[in-house]
Structure 1
Amino acid sequence: MFHVALVSDWEAAVAAGDYRVSSLGVTLEQEGFLHASRADQWEGVLQRYYADVTEPLVLLVIDPARLTAPMVVEAVGQDTYPHIYGPLNVDAVVETRPLDR
Protein backbone atom coordinates (compact mmCIF):
# COMPACT_ATOMS: atom_id res chain seq x y z
CA MET A 1 0.00 0.00 0.00
CA PHE A 2 1.26 3.49 -0.83
CA HIS A 3 0.75 7.14 0.09
CA VAL A 4 2.23 10.23 -1.59
CA ALA A 5 3.37 12.77 1.00
CA LEU A 6 5.17 16.06 1.28
CA VAL A 7 8.63 15.44 2.72
CA SER A 8 7.94 18.11 5.36
CA ASP A 9 4.72 16.35 6.47
CA TRP A 10 6.52 13.01 6.70
CA GLU A 11 9.40 14.51 8.70
CA ALA A 12 6.89 16.06 11.12
CA ALA A 13 5.16 12.68 11.45
CA VAL A 14 8.42 10.91 12.26
CA ALA A 15 9.05 13.45 15.01
CA ALA A 16 5.47 13.15 16.34
CA GLY A 17 5.17 9.36 16.04
CA ASP A 18 2.26 9.27 13.60
CA TYR A 19 1.14 10.69 10.26
CA ARG A 20 -2.15 12.60 10.02
CA VAL A 21 -2.33 14.05 6.50
CA SER A 22 -5.15 12.56 4.44
CA SER A 23 -4.17 14.17 1.16
CA LEU A 24 -2.52 17.36 -0.04
CA GLY A 25 -3.57 20.11 2.36
CA VAL A 26 -6.27 18.00 4.06
CA THR A 27 -5.83 16.47 7.51
CA LEU A 28 -7.13 13.20 8.93
CA GLU A 29 -9.42 15.22 11.19
CA GLN A 30 -10.93 17.03 8.19
CA GLU A 31 -11.38 13.98 5.93
CA GLY A 32 -12.01 11.24 8.49
CA PHE A 33 -9.47 8.86 6.96
CA LEU A 34 -6.10 8.78 5.18
CA HIS A 35 -6.07 8.18 1.44
CA ALA A 36 -3.83 5.38 0.21
CA SER A 37 -3.25 3.56 -3.08
CA ARG A 38 -2.34 0.20 -4.51
CA ALA A 39 0.86 -0.22 -6.51
CA ASP A 40 -1.03 0.33 -9.78
CA GLN A 41 -2.66 3.56 -8.54
CA TRP A 42 -0.12 5.81 -6.86
CA GLU A 43 1.41 7.19 -10.08
CA GLY A 44 -2.03 8.33 -11.23
CA VAL A 45 -2.61 9.98 -7.85
CA LEU A 46 0.74 11.73 -8.20
CA GLN A 47 -0.16 13.04 -11.66
CA ARG A 48 -3.73 14.11 -10.76
CA TYR A 49 -3.20 15.76 -7.40
CA TYR A 50 0.49 16.63 -7.05
CA ALA A 51 1.51 17.76 -10.56
CA ASP A 52 1.82 21.42 -9.52
CA VAL A 53 3.49 20.78 -6.16
CA THR A 54 7.03 22.16 -6.07
CA GLU A 55 7.87 21.00 -2.54
CA PRO A 56 9.80 17.70 -2.32
CA LEU A 57 7.61 14.59 -2.23
CA VAL A 58 8.10 11.09 -0.88
CA LEU A 59 6.27 7.84 -1.52
CA LEU A 60 5.44 6.04 1.70
CA VAL A 61 5.42 2.25 1.35
CA ILE A 62 3.02 0.92 3.99
CA ASP A 63 2.81 -2.62 5.35
CA PRO A 64 -0.93 -3.07 6.07
CA ALA A 65 -0.14 -5.80 8.61
CA ARG A 66 1.65 -3.23 10.77
CA LEU A 67 -1.18 -0.68 10.86
CA THR A 68 -2.64 0.13 14.26
CA ALA A 69 -5.67 1.86 12.68
CA PRO A 70 -8.29 0.03 10.63
CA MET A 71 -7.81 -0.11 6.85
CA VAL A 72 -10.85 -0.48 4.60
CA VAL A 73 -10.87 -0.92 0.82
CA GLU A 74 -13.70 1.23 -0.50
CA ALA A 75 -15.25 1.99 -3.87
CA VAL A 76 -14.29 5.31 -5.42
CA GLY A 77 -15.96 5.74 -8.79
CA GLN A 78 -15.28 2.62 -10.84
CA ASP A 79 -12.28 1.56 -8.72
CA THR A 80 -11.44 0.78 -5.10
CA TYR A 81 -8.88 2.44 -2.85
CA PRO A 82 -7.53 1.61 0.61
CA HIS A 83 -8.47 4.11 3.33
CA ILE A 84 -6.87 4.19 6.78
CA TYR A 85 -9.35 5.17 9.49
CA GLY A 86 -6.96 6.72 11.98
CA PRO A 87 -3.41 7.99 12.19
CA LEU A 88 -0.70 6.13 10.31
CA ASN A 89 1.81 4.78 12.81
CA VAL A 90 5.27 5.52 11.44
CA ASP A 91 6.51 1.98 12.04
CA ALA A 92 3.97 0.73 9.47
CA VAL A 93 5.98 2.61 6.83
CA VAL A 94 8.59 0.10 5.72
CA GLU A 95 10.21 2.23 3.03
CA THR A 96 10.26 5.81 1.80
CA ARG A 97 11.06 6.61 -1.81
CA PRO A 98 11.94 10.16 -2.90
CA LEU A 99 9.76 11.21 -5.81
CA ASP A 100 11.75 13.14 -8.38
CA ARG A 101 9.65 14.78 -11.05
Structure 2
Amino acid sequence: MLIYKIFRAEEWAAMQTQGRTDGAPVDVADGFVHLSTAAQLPVTLAKHFAAETDLILLACESDALGDALHWEPSRGGDLFPHLYRPLSMDDLLWTRPIRRDANGHVTGPLE
Protein backbone atom coordinates (compact mmCIF):
# COMPACT_ATOMS: atom_id res chain seq x y z
CA MET A 1 0.00 0.00 0.00
CA LEU A 2 1.24 3.47 -0.79
CA ILE A 3 1.62 5.97 2.02
CA TYR A 4 2.47 9.64 1.71
CA LYS A 5 4.52 12.45 3.21
CA ILE A 6 3.86 16.13 2.60
CA PHE A 7 6.83 18.46 2.63
CA ARG A 8 7.24 22.17 2.19
CA ALA A 9 9.63 23.10 -0.62
CA GLU A 10 12.50 23.88 1.77
CA GLU A 11 12.06 20.55 3.61
CA TRP A 12 12.11 18.70 0.30
CA ALA A 13 15.21 20.60 -0.84
CA ALA A 14 17.01 19.68 2.40
CA MET A 15 16.11 16.01 1.96
CA GLN A 16 17.40 16.02 -1.60
CA THR A 17 20.68 17.58 -0.48
CA GLN A 18 21.18 15.23 2.49
CA GLY A 19 19.68 12.08 0.95
CA ARG A 20 17.50 11.54 4.01
CA THR A 21 15.55 13.43 6.63
CA ASP A 22 14.22 13.18 10.16
CA GLY A 23 11.20 15.06 8.82
CA ALA A 24 9.57 18.40 9.35
CA PRO A 25 9.91 20.20 12.70
CA VAL A 26 6.77 18.45 14.02
CA ASP A 27 8.28 15.06 13.11
CA VAL A 28 11.53 15.84 14.90
CA ALA A 29 9.60 17.03 17.98
CA ASP A 30 7.41 13.89 18.03
CA GLY A 31 10.29 11.47 17.39
CA PHE A 32 8.91 9.94 14.18
CA VAL A 33 8.03 10.88 10.60
CA HIS A 34 4.28 11.45 10.20
CA LEU A 35 2.83 9.80 7.10
CA SER A 36 -0.72 9.46 5.75
CA THR A 37 -2.71 6.96 3.72
CA ALA A 38 -4.52 8.09 0.57
CA ALA A 39 -7.77 8.33 2.56
CA GLN A 40 -6.12 10.41 5.31
CA LEU A 41 -4.28 12.77 2.98
CA PRO A 42 -7.09 15.30 2.28
CA VAL A 43 -7.71 15.85 6.00
CA THR A 44 -3.96 16.12 6.70
CA LEU A 45 -3.67 18.78 3.99
CA ALA A 46 -6.69 20.70 5.28
CA LYS A 47 -5.66 20.52 8.93
CA HIS A 48 -1.92 21.16 8.72
CA PHE A 49 -1.31 22.85 5.35
CA ALA A 50 -4.56 24.71 4.58
CA ALA A 51 -3.09 28.02 3.42
CA GLU A 52 0.27 26.71 2.21
CA THR A 53 1.63 26.53 -1.32
CA ASP A 54 4.85 25.03 -2.67
CA LEU A 55 4.10 21.62 -1.19
CA ILE A 56 5.58 18.34 -2.42
CA LEU A 57 3.93 14.93 -2.14
CA LEU A 58 6.23 11.95 -1.55
CA ALA A 59 5.01 8.38 -2.00
CA CYS A 60 6.42 5.28 -0.29
CA GLU A 61 5.49 1.61 -0.28
CA SER A 62 4.50 0.81 3.31
CA ASP A 63 5.81 -2.77 3.26
CA ALA A 64 9.24 -1.61 2.10
CA LEU A 65 9.67 0.51 5.26
CA GLY A 66 9.91 -2.62 7.41
CA ASP A 67 9.71 -2.80 11.18
CA ALA A 68 10.39 0.93 11.58
CA LEU A 69 6.84 1.66 10.36
CA HIS A 70 4.21 1.60 13.11
CA TRP A 71 0.47 2.08 12.70
CA GLU A 72 -0.71 4.17 15.65
CA PRO A 73 -4.01 5.80 16.59
CA SER A 74 -4.36 9.52 15.99
CA ARG A 75 -7.28 11.68 14.79
CA GLY A 76 -10.48 9.98 15.88
CA GLY A 77 -8.66 6.74 16.62
CA ASP A 78 -7.73 6.25 12.97
CA LEU A 79 -4.44 4.36 12.55
CA PHE A 80 -1.74 6.51 10.97
CA PRO A 81 1.63 5.34 9.62
CA HIS A 82 4.56 6.64 11.68
CA LEU A 83 8.14 5.98 10.61
CA TYR A 84 10.62 5.57 13.49
CA ARG A 85 13.77 6.18 11.47
CA PRO A 86 14.88 8.77 8.93
CA LEU A 87 13.09 8.80 5.62
CA SER A 88 15.58 8.32 2.79
CA MET A 89 15.53 9.07 -0.91
CA ASP A 90 15.70 5.29 -1.47
CA ASP A 91 12.32 4.94 0.31
CA LEU A 92 10.55 7.11 -2.29
CA LEU A 93 8.65 5.66 -5.23
CA TRP A 94 7.79 9.06 -6.68
CA THR A 95 7.33 12.72 -5.83
CA ARG A 96 5.24 15.50 -7.33
CA PRO A 97 4.11 19.02 -6.56
CA ILE A 98 0.78 19.53 -4.84
CA ARG A 99 -1.10 22.20 -6.78
CA ARG A 100 -3.75 24.55 -5.48
CA ASP A 101 -6.90 25.49 -7.31
CA ALA A 102 -10.14 27.21 -6.32
CA ASN A 103 -11.19 24.11 -4.37
CA GLY A 104 -7.93 23.68 -2.43
CA HIS A 105 -5.00 21.29 -2.80
CA VAL A 106 -4.76 18.95 -5.78
CA THR A 107 -2.55 15.90 -5.30
CA GLY A 108 -3.26 14.05 -8.52
CA PRO A 109 -4.18 10.36 -8.52
CA LEU A 110 -3.26 8.30 -5.45
CA GLU A 111 -2.73 4.52 -5.21
Distance 1:33 1:7 in 2: 20
Q: Which residue of 1 aligns with 2:20?
A: 18
Q: Which residue of 1 aligns with 2:46?
A: 47
Q: Which runs of 5+ in 2 are unaligned?
A: 101-111
1:72-83 → structure 2 map (5 Å cutoff): 72-76=70-74, 77-83=76-82
TM-score for both structures, normalised by structure 1? 0.85
TM-score for both structures, normalised by structure 2? 0.78
Q: Which residue of 1 aligns with 2:33?
A: 34
Distance 2:66 2:41 in 1: 22
Q: Which residue of 2 aligns with 1:9?
A: 11
Distance 2:59 2:89 in 1: 11
Q: Which has the higher helix share?
A: 2
Distance 1:27 1:83 in 2: 9
Q: Which residue of 1 aligns with 2:103?
A: none
Secondary structure in structure 1 of the residue aligned to 2:51: coil
Distance 2:20 2:97 in 1: 19
Q: Which runs of 5+ in 1 are unaligned?
A: none
Shift of 1:83: 0.2
Identity within the alignment, %: 31
Which has the higher Rg, Structure 1 or Structure 2?
2
Moved over 6 A (4+): none
